[in-house]
Amino acid sequence: MADIQLPPPEELAKVSFQPRPQGWMDPCVEFRPGTWSYAGKPKALETVGMPNPREWSPTDADWKLPENWKEIILQGLRERLDKYRSLKVFLDICVRCGACADKCHFFIGSGDPKNMPVLRAELLRSVYRNDFTLAGKLLGKMVGARELTMDVVKEWFYYFYQCTECRRCSVFCPYGIDQAELTMIGRELLNLVGININWVMEPVAKCYMTGNHMGIPPHALKDNLEFFADDIENITGVRVDVPINKKGADVLFVVPSGDVMADPGIYTLMGYMMLLHESGLNYTWSTYASEGGNFGLFTSHEMIKRLNAKIYAEAKRLGVKWILGGECGHMWRVLHQYMDTLNGPADFLEVPVSPITGTRFEHARSTKMIHIAEFTADLIYHGKLKLDPSRNNAYKVTFHDSCNPARAMGLFEEPRYVIRNVCNHFYEMPENTIREQTFCCGGGAGLGNDENMEMRMRGGLPRGNAVRFVHERYGVNLLTAMCAIDRAVLTTLMEYWVPEVKVSGLHELVGNALVMKGEKKRELNLRSEPLNEGSEDTSD
């Protein structure tokens, strides 16, 4: 593992916003340790049949590209210009008004002008002008055209992997120009010649073969789930069942696999198990569709489809009626905006109906998949859950809207409704840092690796700051987020910026508050920490 030396937070937060005297048109990148990610390993690329597998490093002078790399990339750009109106419109109409500039967490945290979304786009736009517009061909630099050189490619790599595809910039742009779309296509172009990062490619390869990012084989998945069931039994005295690959279940349940392995995601997973048991839903896990997350989103549109296909396929094989999805960010971007289009129509499924409340989830009538926050909010609204929010009294909670559920779904009220019902102490962060204006954790889109640590801490600076604000003002000590990547990278982020604050998922809090039939007197929360004394008096 990379050992990145970080300056203390007070130092890192002194960001200089003075642009370099020379303009941005001359490509220049310095691969400073802590600000970039390791290259994709050849084995991962071979597993999924991606081009140009080889050992290389961004710090090498020679990136070992195919001889005609330039032709390949330009041809790739030409094809994509024809396939995506978004790409063409976004490249054509930016007025460089700068409204997006300081909306990017990487710009705020690094001050590097090329982290302004508008300039990140110009890196690609300049090449587009040069090779695909008449003005660029005639007037060159005057209209901001640049030739595609190896240095430009290196710049693309550096800055397209300093964008977490969070879409915050697109909220503020008067034309909705979405840098995430340009980053996705930019990364797709780089992938054509074998330029990518391992923290994306490894999960892609594992997900393709074993069904999940962590590479958990079927029997190990079962072991883990049984293990959590044991823990739940220790804490609550109730044995929850663990249905796996069960034909005849009504509902297929798909989660991000990170929650199966790593603290604190596992507590959220225990929360799911308790909730589903208590609600009496006839559901099943799948070892094949054991991942809802999809690093194809950070690779190429084709890879999104290849990795996502298993979800409908498994739903069909098991004969379920509809699909329920766990708490994950980018997973929900794929499920909400891509799955039906790429792998639908899901005409073999039924419109999701909660058998407990009778609610028909009309808003998911085509995709046939709902978010567990929607499911739980509906249960609570109909009074189907017995909850004791005082069991979360040790926590002063704030909620981090994950980028994708926020800006690609608009899932704002459901989780807040759930939190208000399972906790007594909930405080919002400042309004410019939540909901559609939420700030990224700094580690999404494959950037949550150790070698990229400085950039992660910089990118997470605005989020860290907002959490510290509510920590100092209200004593907030728990940051709740509905995303597996968040639960992993926000934990590191909090250790750096606000060490007093821990991270959890939504359903960990649900699990704590849930009063189960036949449970023993609860003494421990899901983390097996003692509950506050006097917290058992039910305050409904």
Q: Residue 88 to residues 73, 133, 142, 302: CA-CA distances in angstroms?
A: 16, 11, 21, 19
Q: Which of residues 167-196 bind ligand HEM (CB under 6 A)?
A: 174
Q: Which one of residues 74, 377, 387, 476 is an interface residue with another protein (CB under 8 A)?
A: 377
The window from 165-173, 321-329, 405-413, 531-539 that contacts ligand SF4 (CB under 6 A) reads: 165-173
Nearer to another protein, 94 or 195 (CB): 94
Among another protein, ligand SF4, ligand HEM, none, partner that 182 touches (CB below 5 to 8 angstroms by kind): none
Nearer CB in complex with ligand HEM: 103/213: 103
CB 37 within 8 A of CB 198: yes
Tokens representing 302?
């084709």
Contact 327, 373 (CB under 8 A): yes
Of 93-132, which residues contact ligand HEM (CB under 6 A)? 95, 97
Q: Applying CB under 6 A, does 177 fall inside the site for ligand SF4?
A: yes
| Segment lying near ligand SF4 (by CB under 6 A), choices 55-63, 177-185, 192-200, 292-300 | 177-185
Only one of the segments 31-39, 158-166, 330-338, 431-439 lies at the binding site for ligand SF4 (rule: CB under 6 A); that segment is: 158-166
Nearest-10 crossing angle of helices 179-192, 150-160: 130
Q: Which is nearer to ligand SF4, 98 or 280 (CB)?
A: 98
Q: Select the residue interacting with another protein from 84, 350, 394, 424 (CB under 8 A).
A: 84
> Which residue matches tokens 């999404």?
444
| Binding track, positions 400-429, relative to another protein; x by CB under 8 A | ------xxxxxxxxx--x------------
Using the CB atoms, write b or e for 254-272: b if 16+ within 10 Å: bbbbbbbbeebbbbbbbbb
Query: What string of DSSP letters covers 399-431?
Result: EE--HHHHHTT---HHHHHHHHHH-S-B-PPPG
Sheet holding 369-371, edge to edge: 283-284, 251-254, 322-325, 369-371
The DSSP 8-state label assigned to residue 39 in this structure reads: B
Q: Which of residues 79-98 bind ligand HEM (CB under 6 A)?
A: 95, 97
Please choose, out of 7-15, 157-165, 274-282, 504-512, the segment that lies near another protein by the rule CB under 8 A: 7-15
Q: Is 52 left (phi over 0), alpha (psi -120 to 50) or beta?
A: left
Distance separating alpha carbons of residues 317 and 245, to the nearest angstrom:
10
Q: Which does 244 bind (CB under 5 to 8 A by kind): ligand SF4, another protein, ligand HEM, none?
A: another protein
CA 370 to CA 359: how far, in whole Å? 12
Q: In Å, how far are 67, 322, 363, 456 from 353, measured between CA atoms?
A: 55, 8, 11, 40
**Binding residue (CB under 8 A) for another protein from 4, 6, 58, 96:** 96
Minimal distance in Å, beta carbon 253 to ligand SF4?
30
Site string for ligand SF4, 78-107 (x = CB under 6 A): ----------------xxxxxxx--xx-x-
Helix (H) / strand (E) element for 434: namely none
Taking CB under 6 A as the criterion, which residues in 178-217 touch ligand SF4?
Answer: 179-180, 183
CA–CA distance, 13 with 108 (Å, rounded to integer): 10
Q: How far is the CB of 182 from ligand SF4 (least distance, A)?
A: 8
Binding positions for ligand SF4, rule: CB under 6 A: 94-100, 103-104, 106, 117-118, 120, 163-169, 173-175, 177, 179-180, 183
Q: Which residues bind ligand HEM (CB under 6 A)?
A: 95, 97, 174
